Amino acid sequence: MKNKETPTPNREKSIPRKAPEKAPKDQTQTKKESSKEVGDFLENYPETEPGGLEKEVEKIENPVWIEKMRGNGGRDVVIMVSKEFDPRKETEIIYHFHGTDGHHFGKLPPLEGTSKYYNKRVGRMSVAANRLQQVANSLAEMKDSNVIVVYPISAGQRGPKKTIAYKNGYDLYWMNRDEGNEAMNVLHSEVVYSVSMKFGKRVKVEKRTVKGHSAGGMALKNLSKSGFFIDRVDFLDASYGNWAKRCYEEASKRNPDLEFNVVVRPGSSTDNKYTKSLEGKKGVKIIHSDKKHSDMNKEYFATK
């Protein structure tokens, strides 16, 4: 695929010469090897129909490219930058974790043991393309910002049978060091290296932000335990169960000045007792929204 990007400046001496750190040995295991209940796992269903992700990336107006990265389990990672991106300026890196079906750019296949929620969508086009384009369009709207948006693609590994993730078809262990082969710190190193190489100068990272929509909130909960330093967290209608609460508890240990935003729809599953328990906590902002769940990226991704 031909990458869309701004002309690459002349390489300078400040460009990093060392490759990103390697994943720890325990992170190079396959998910099957590291799982406690191997018999409870099914093979991942295909990430996409041939060329599906590439076709969607070609539609993005901002400079964009795709790389496979060890920190994301060797899978595709979409990297987008501001139109006037300058690595010499202070930069915010935003990692966005998609929700259910966000890894599958094509029609959803039938899966064993899935819920009525999943089965009624079998044979229809996944929401993956729509969710990616919402984020890309939001980036285009972020005028006067020096931003890198990182959009990893999950494995779609559903986890043990009888879990909600298994029944609804989302990745239970995404960015979980103990159960998967992803590593947030490794992913960050790879992203900084990739962008630095593209633009010929080491990126000056000033702020690290992580966002998750829908089931992407599970990835936020998982990565919060990795030791990765975070400046800002956004749960975009993604605070199911105790996901947001656990994420806040872990991330705020490393950053007492953490910005923590939780968008919920009143009365929905994300507006639960665990989410409500965060009200009044330092740095926490609960946003009650009347927007559709499917439009959360469009409505809130670019919010400052």
Q: Average pLDDT over the chain, rounded to whole?
A: 86
- Looking at residue 72, its pLDDT comes to 95
Q: E strands within 72-146?
A: 75-81, 90-97
Amino acid symbol at 33 = E
Q: Which tops the pLDDT comparison, 229 or 181?
A: 229
Question: d(Cα 92, Cα 205) in Å, to the nearest integer?
Answer: 6
Q: For residues 302 and 297, what is the distance between their CA atoms, to the nearest angstrom?
A: 8
Helix, coil or strand: residue 227 = coil
Contact present, 142 and 302 (Cβ < 8 Å): yes
- Angle of the 216-223 helix axis to the 243-254 helix axis, nearest 10: 30
Instruction: Write out the two tokens for 29.
Output: 């295991």
Residue of 137 and 107 predicted with greater confidence: 137
pLDDT in tens, 252-293: 999 999 999 999 999 999 999 999 999 999 999 999 999 999
pLDDT of 270: 98
Partners of 80 in the β-ladder: 64, 149
Measured distance CA(47)–CA(100) in Å, rounded: 12
CB count in 10 Å sphere of residue 147? 18
Q: Tell me: the pLDDT tens digits for 58-68?
A: 999 999 999 99
pLDDT above 90 covers what percent of the chain? 67
Cα 107 to Cα 48: distance, rounded to the nearest angstrom: 9
In 181-263, which residue ranges form alpha helices assigned H by DSSP? Answer: 184-199, 216-223, 243-254
Alpha carbons 259 and 295: distance in angstroms, whole number: 22
Residue 68's pLDDT is 97
- Per-residue pLDDT, averaged over 204-208, amounts to 97
The span from the CA of 32 to the CA of 42, in Å, is 9
List pLDDT tens digits, range 77-91. 999 999 999 999 999
Helix (H) or strand (E) holding 65: strand 64-69
Q: Is the pLDDT score of 301 beyond 80? A: yes
Domain boundaries, the chain: 25-300
- Strands 75-81, 147-152: pairing kind: antiparallel
Q: Provide the pLDDT for residue 49.
A: 64
The pLDDT of residue 171: 82
Report the C-alpha gap between 215 and 174 in whole angstroms. Answer: 10
Pick the CATH number of 25-300 from 1.10.3470, 1.20.120, 3.30.160, 3.40.50: 3.40.50
